[in-house]
Amino acid sequence: MRMRPTLSWTPPEDLPPGTTDPGPVVDALETGGVLVLSGAGISTESGIPDYRGEGGSLSRHTPMTYQDFVGDARARQRYWARSHLGWRTFRRAHPNAGHRAVAAFEARGRLAGVITQNVDGLHQAAGSEDVVELHGSLARVVCLTCGAMSARRELAERLEAANEGFAPVAAGLNPDGDADLTDEQVGDFRVVPCTVCGGVLKPDVVFFGENVPPGRVEHCRRLVHGATSLLVLGSSLTVMSGLRFVRQAAQAGKPVLIVNRDPTRGDRYALTRVALPLGATLTTVAERLSSPPEHRATARTRP
């Protein structure tokens, strides 16, 4: 019997309460060496919904699993129809105040890096450079047969040509760029093959039920090892792909700080959880940070 991936988590009653004081986050960033771990919640202010927050997509939508995608041609057709429609909106999303604040932390030398569970590329669009895309990127497509990699925009053009006039109205957009469509709306949508070998194409993202590449996990573990503290932004930490880094940091005695309005599966490992909206909170934190020593020295020498 095929097991479904963990999609939900019920907070126990003994979790520590959240706070509205971002002071510990400011203190950690003042120290420097902070590793950011971001989740879908940081992109909600850019118009991309999260999975589990208020109005999250899991309340109406079950994400595609890797097993269904590779094992069922009809499932692939439904996925690509919905994803193709969703991509039109997804690619127009812009970074929000939260992404810009993280980029500012990096520019001011406060970070050891950014690990994101998101596939939207908004951290990089905001100016962050040292970003590990834990779950891949929707901007890339990979062939499951020959491994050829290509740009999503190229596939979008091919799908447009193969499905002229395809323009159903979606009920909603999901964090993985998948739009909500009925089977009737999917209709006879045509899926196109790899241009190199004719094989099956898949977005270069980690589906539910699929493992993060071991090398990528090990790289993230090294980042946690080298960091002074771990700052979780907008993730419920329901799935192990992100929670394992929280556990690693806590076991090593490194402070774990979380900014997320709702309780998370990592709260019991955290020094604090700031239960406030991300964009405004991170903007406030950025404003409260002092300038790094080299920036202050530069400022004093200006006429």
Of 61, 135, 219, 225, which is the active-site residue?
Answer: 135
Report the distance separating Cα 27 and Cα 70, nearest Å.
Answer: 47
The count of C-alpha atoms lying within 13 angstroms of the C-alpha of 45, restricted to the half-sphere facing its C-beta, is 15
Question: Is 38 labelled as part of a ligand binding site?
Answer: no
Give how far the C-alpha of residue 89 lies from the chain's centroid of Cα atoms, to the nearest Å: 17
Question: Is 118 labelled as part of a ligand binding site?
Answer: yes
DSSP code, position 172: -
Question: Is 234 labelled as part of a ligand binding site?
Answer: yes
Question: Is 119 labelled as part of a ligand binding site?
Answer: yes
219 is a catalytic site residue: no
Who contacts 222 (Cβ-Cβ below 8 Å, separation ≥6)? none
Question: Is 46 labelled as part of a ligand binding site?
Answer: yes
Question: Is 127 labelled as part of a ligand binding site?
Answer: no
Question: Is 235 labelled as part of a ligand binding site?
Answer: yes
Report the distance separating Cα 264 and Cα 11, nearest Å.
Answer: 7
Question: Is 40 labelled as part of a ligand binding site?
Answer: yes
Report the distance separating Cα 204 and Cα 119, nearest Å.
Answer: 9
Question: Is 211 labelled as part of a ligand binding site?
Answer: no
Residues in the chain: 303
Give the phi and the psi of residue 75 in degrees, each rounded to 5: -65, -40
Question: Is 231 labelled as part of a ligand binding site?
Answer: no
Question: Is 43 labelled as part of a ligand binding site?
Answer: yes
Report the distance separating Cα 19 and Cα 289, nearest Å.
Answer: 19
Report the distance separating Cα 196 and Cα 211, nearest Å.
Answer: 25
- Give the residue ranges of the annotated binding site for Zn(2+): 143, 146, 194, 197
- Give the residue ranges of the annotated binding site for NAD(+): 39-59, 117-120, 234-236, 278
- Give the residue ranges of the annotated binding site: 39-59, 117-120, 143, 146, 194, 197, 234-236, 278
The catalytic residues are 135
